[in-house]
Structure 1
Amino acid sequence: MREAGEFADVTLVFDQQRMPCHRVILAGMSEYFRRMFLVNMMESGAQEVSMDAISPNTGELLVDYLYTGRIEISTQNAQDLLAASDMLLLGDLKQKIEEFLVSHTDSENCVSMLNLARFYDMELLLRDAQKFLHKLAKEAIDTEEMHLLQEKDLIETLQANSWQENNFCFLQKWVGSAEGRADRFDALIQHVSLSQCSKEFICSTVIDEKLMHNTRGVRLIQQAIQSPRSTNPPQQQALAVGTDGGEMWRCSDVNNQHWQPIQKPPTECKWYSGCASPGGFIVSGGRRNGINQRDCYSYHAHDDQWNTLPPMSIARAEHSSIYHNQHLYIVGGHDGIFNFDSVETLDMDTLQWSPLPPLPILVHRCYLVVASNGLFVLGGVKNLGVWSADVHEFDFRLHSWRSRSPM
């Protein structure tokens, strides 16, 4: 009926494109048009209504939606449709677009999504974008959108993150991302607790920052160095060992060499992976009765208790794991026949697994080290049982792998 123009009584004009429509349809689907046609507005009796704020392509999609209730949202048209749906008071469409944007939010676009969420008052998108932004701050990762981050959102992010050394680095990146921000450093440094930073960090990174080279900055550095928390008192070291059959022991004090058995994890496996974590360690995967497992458990030494963590996305054995910055990283492994190149990480705050770019090689039994804001994968066993001398680095900031000189 619309395509044929039958009984059309109003024409919407998007730039130079005219679309014959029916007032009753427009008013029934959009509160904006309902108010326009029922209230004594200039357009209420007009034969043509100009829609200058909406492009012809977006206008055609919207008119089709008003008549059919169907629309195809893409990354190319989402923001234009969002602006139009907000203008035309199309609440259901706006919600669909918000859900689409949430599903396409990541660490690279979270700042622009955050600004978009605030502008259009979208709470779901706001919370999701904040989650990714907090992850950036926690890992001190830079982003090309840092210049778009508003000061109030920077402050909220710093307050939400307990890792003060990363907070200082994140503040440095924000200040350096746009002209005029250096003047805000003195006011914003109050949101970083330097007293909770290590003495080594203060004597290197903080002292090297030129914006700290003033009377107030020197005083903050002196206070931080004299703080009991920055003196890095030696902590009692503990050690845990286990067999491939699931038996485990721990030595609470390596100086005494007194070993005590640890209760076995809820699921006993061979060829699992284990790594240290704050207050204990984490075991993942392994093989039971010839079948690879996805299970993950964390052990807390203080109360001698196991806690169940969300399972990995892939069942694997003979893989490698490491804990860093509130994240558990899982690398490689074996399915009984072939090696894996898959890498995934568990956010210990949200308990959500996320895939990472795959390794450049298929490998199991590799060694993992975190250094210089990178995850290094050393050696391991390639297919056909050949030991590897390869070294690969995952850059947390660039979110990508690169090859290093072999061992």
Structure 2
Amino acid sequence: MDGSDFIYLNHASCTMKKIQEHLQNQQLCDVVIIAGPKRIPAHRLVLSSVSDYFKAMFNNDVRESHEEEVTISDVDADALEKIISYMYTGRLEMSEENVERVLSTANMLQLHPVVDAGCNFLMKQLHPSNCLGIRAFADLQSCHRLYKEAHVYTMEHFTDVMRNQEFVMLHFNQVCELVGSDDVNVPSEMTLFEALLIWVKHSEAERKQHMPELLSHIRLTHMSKEFLADRVQTNSLINQNLPCEHQIIAAMSYHMLPARRPCLKPPRKSTMGHLYAIGGMDNSKGATSIERYDVRINQWTQIAQMTGRRLQFGVAVLEDKLYVVGGRDGLKTLNSVECFNSRTKTWSVMPPVATHRHGLGVAVLSGPMYAVGGHDGWSYLNTVERWDPQARAWNYVAPMSVSRSTVGVAVLFDKLYAVGGRDGSSCLRSVECFDPHTNKWTNCAPMSKRRGGVGVGVCGAHLYAIGGHDAPASNQMSKLSESVERYSPKTDQWTIVASMSVPRDAVGICVLGGHLYACGGYDGQSYLSTCESYDPQSNEWTKVAPLNTGRAGAVVVHVRNLL
């Protein structure tokens, strides 16, 4: 006869209930845990089974292993009693009042499930008024996950945190850590200067000695010269402190002598503003979404829609407004201009350009925006129009020497550059620049490669030509490029720099925080969602978060913080 195993599914729970009854009746208890005024009867076997701390105590050759009474010092008696009860029941009540005492006791007893539960409880309680305290507690208890969550919360909500009591109670070194962080989320450096004053003034006599070092963590050159002169330099904590005065003079010199600007710290991630990727060609033959990139969290988020399909258009940014100029809707070339208000996320219609244009470049030079080249549906264009905001009209300025469509346009040292593009017979190597004071275009040194659909960006003192294609008009098989070259107006020379990871035609290029970002494009097979950023200091490209929609010909622009 075959045997069979009998399994009683409620064995464990029934057994624990019996053990609880033994505890309640104080039967077979073999140890009393003493903490402060409390005497807590228990069973060594139960304590050892749940807690590694008690397991080590009762199973090694130490005095406590055979004593009937064991005293535990430096522990909260109420929390210990609750935890010993938990060891029998698996149930533990946590509240705002007891969670830290329970968690620290559980941590000592090596009860990891209780520690995790306490950390989760505190994460849900995070608030600007308590996050610094929770962060400090987590650090003391070596609760790394809780520490990280509290730190991230502190960084994210710093403008509220700095107005709470915990902030002014911080040690000097902790304040330096916060105001010096690249990850602190503030609308501007002015906010951090205000935080510094709040902390110092809480105990001014004792803390004002720290002003020079605290001020060194504020990125003064990223403040406006008006704020520096009117609010910083006039502050008594600054103007009565010579080392602080020297820092302010250096920052003011930066604003007064731009040609002598040294290599300085970039703006903080939160004060850099955002990249906007607008429209482009996607698998549905025309992306109408607008995505915004936040460098702090390395993420693109869709924030708005265009009013309709529009391809090969140009975009300029003026006072946080995005002006979308020309393009084509798939059937005809457009001369219409629309304005997107990035604050209200609303669209308005603007006066049209005089010439219908797609494949144009748009940039802002010394105030006005310019619409450069393109194609009107019949022919390639060398004409250029400038927006006059007073007259609310577009006027022609001097034409380029060459007709250019899919042209790269950028501004460097108060001159407008037109780079590459197509002239109807081939892609172009040629480059020319426009001086608004003389109303003349001047030829510059040509690029090493012909580049239609080229992406152009300005970083530091250089102009960059990125990606694009080289195809004769009679041959639709383009040679796509991942190569990048850099132009110096001082030497009138192009230099090859590090290539992108993949070829990108019709790539969106923009600068953010001293890095060039290459977004999307076409690699010969698909519309790309991938993005990468270039560091001019290391001459290296690094992958960043991808767009939500793969697209080529998207215009990528920088919009500063909305203060």
Shift of 1:60: 2.5
- 233, 239, 242: which one aligns with 1:215: 242
Quote how far apart the aligned CAs of 1:187 are: 1.9
Give the aligned partner of residue 276 of structure 1: 342
Match of 1:75 in 2: 96
5+ residue gaps, structure 1: 232-239, 265-273, 285-299, 310-322, 327-369, 371-407
Preserved contact between residue 161 and residue 167 of structure 2 (Cα < 8 Å): no
Shift of the 156–48 alpha-carbon distance from structure 1 to 2, 3 Å rule, reads same
Task: Look up the SS of the partner of 2:181 in the other structure.
Answer: helix
Q: Show CA shifts across 1:61-97 (max 9, x none).
A: 1111111222122111101102211222222211221
Structure 2 CA distance for partners of 1:263 and 1:195, relative to 1, 3 Å: farther
Root mean square deviation of aligned Cα: 3.8
Where do residues 385-404 of structure 1 align in structure 2 (5 Å cutoff)?
none
Note the C-alpha offset of 1:211: 2.1
Pair 1:195-2:221 in alignment: yes
Relative to structure 1, the CA distance from residue 262 to residue 63 in structure 2 (aligned partners, 3 Å threshold; closer, same or farther) is: farther
Q: Does 1:224 align with 2:251?
A: yes
Q: Quick one: which of 148, 165, 170 aligns to 2:190?
A: 165
Query: How does 1:97-246 map onto structure 2 within 5 Å?
Result: 97-137=118-158, 141-157=162-178, 158-160=180-182, 161=184, 163-178=188-203, 180-213=206-239, 214-228=241-255, 246=307
Larger RCO: 1 or 2 (CA < 8 Å, sep 6+): 2
Of 14, 31, 53, the match for 1:10: 31
What is the distance in 1 between the residues matched to 2:220 and 2:137? 33
Output one character per residue of 1:335-373: Cα deviation in whole Å (capped at 9) or x when no partner.
xxxxxxxxxxxxxxxxxxxxxxxxxxxxxxxxxxx7xxx
Q: How far apart are residue 210 of structure 1 and its match?
A: 1.9
In 1, the alpha carbon distance for the partners of 2:82 and 2:26 equals 17
| 1:62 corresponding residue in structure 2 | 83
1:33 maps to: 54
How many equivalent residue pairs? 275
Shift of residue 248, structure 1, vs aligned partner: 9.5
Amino acid at match of 2:253: Q
CA distance in 2 between counterparts of 1:63 and 1:77 reads: 15
Cα displacement string for residues 294-332 of structure 1 (whole angstroms, at most 9, x for unaligned residues): xxxxxx9969999669xxxxxxxxxxxxx9967xxxxxx
Amino acid at match of 2:219: S
Between 132-141 and 93-102, the greater mean CA deviation after superposition: 132-141
1:65 to 1:140, Cα distance in 2 relative to 1, 3 A: closer
For structure 2, the 5+ residue unaligned runs are 1-21, 259-277, 279-304, 330-339, 348-507, 511-517, 521-528, 530-546, 550-558
- Structure 2 counterpart SS, 1:20: strand
Amino acid in the other structure paired with 2:212:
D
Q: Do 2:129 and 2:161's aligned partners in 1 also have CA atoms closer than 8 Å?
A: no
Q: Report the CA distance shift for 1:324/1:223 in structure 2 as closer, same or farther (over 3 A).
A: closer
What amino acid does structure 1 have at the position aligned with 2:316? S
Contact persistence 2:82–2:92 (CA under 8 A): yes
User: Residue in 2 aligned with 1:47?
Assistant: 68
Deviation at 1:120, TM superposition (A): 0.7
Taking structure 1 as the reference length, the TM-score comes to 0.58
State the 1:53 CA deviation. 3.1
- Deviation track 1:164-223 (CA, whole Å, cap 9, x = no partner) reads 222222222222234622222222221112111111211122123222122222221111
Greater C-alpha radius of gyration: 2
Match of 2:342, as an amino acid? Answer: A
Q: Determine the C-alpha separation between the residues in 1 that align with 2:101 and 2:132.
A: 18
* Paired residues of 2:167 and 2:199 also in contact (CA < 8 A): yes
Q: 1:211 is aligned with what amino acid? A: L
Residue 39 of structure 2 aligns to a residue whose secondary structure is strand
**Secondary structure of residue in 2 paired with 1:49:** strand
Q: Residues of 1 paired with 2:328 and 2:148: CA distance?
A: 40
1:345 aligned partner: none
Distance 1:176 1:45 in 2: 58
Distance 2:317 2:81 in 1: 72
Q: C-alpha separation between the residues in 2 aligned to 1:25 and 1:76? A: 27
Q: Secondary structure at the match of 2:70?
A: strand
Q: Report percent identity of matched pairs.
A: 21
Which one has the bigger helix percentage? 1
Is residue 260 from structure 1 mapped to residue 325 from structure 2 by the alignment? Answer: yes
Whether the aligned pair in 2 keeps the contact of 1:8 and 1:21 (CA below 8 Å) is: yes
The residue type paired with residue 252 of structure 1 is: A
Aligned partner letter, 1:43: E
